Amino acid sequence: MENIFLVLSLFLPRITLILFYLVHSIPYNNVPLIGDAILTIFLPRVLILIYIVENYGTGSPWFWIHLVVAVLVYIFSGKKVSKRKLKRKLG
């Protein structure tokens, strides 16, 4: 797995997956193609974590970095959406 893939996928996971798919450079994995497509659309960070586990294992620093970023993104994106809904109801 390339370092550029790991760094780009921290910030732009869906775009990185699509770009690497188009240049035929997706990391080795056991996920079927339909699973790759569905996870790329709905849960790209989970797919990247699967790639990292299959290639490096859970002891890799990349796994823990991506896991922490994924948790932070999911926590803070939920708060952002709920604030928007609250503003719409009040205003």
> Tens of pLDDT along 27-45?
888 999 899 999 999 999 9
Q: Look at residue 82 and tell me whether its pLDDT is greater than 70.
A: no
More confident residue, 39 or 89: 39
Amino acid code (one letter) for 78: G
> For the chain, what percent of residues have pLDDT higher than 90?
65
Write down the pLDDT at residue 77.
81
More confident residue, 79 or 60: 60
Write down the pLDDT at residue 18.
93
Write down the pLDDT at residue 85.
65
Element housing 23 (H / E): none
Helix (H, G, I), strand (E, B) or coil at 90: helix
Give the Å distances, CA to CA, from 82 to 12, 52, 72, 90. Answer: 23, 31, 16, 12
How far is it, in rounded angstroms, from Cα 65 to Cα 40? Answer: 19
Helix (H, G, I), strand (E, B) or coil at 49: helix
User: pTM for this one?
Assistant: 0.82
How far is it, in rounded angstroms, from Cα 59 to Cα 65? Answer: 11
More confident residue, 52 or 85: 52
Burial-class residue 88 by CB neighbours within 10 Å (0-12, 13-18, 19+): exposed
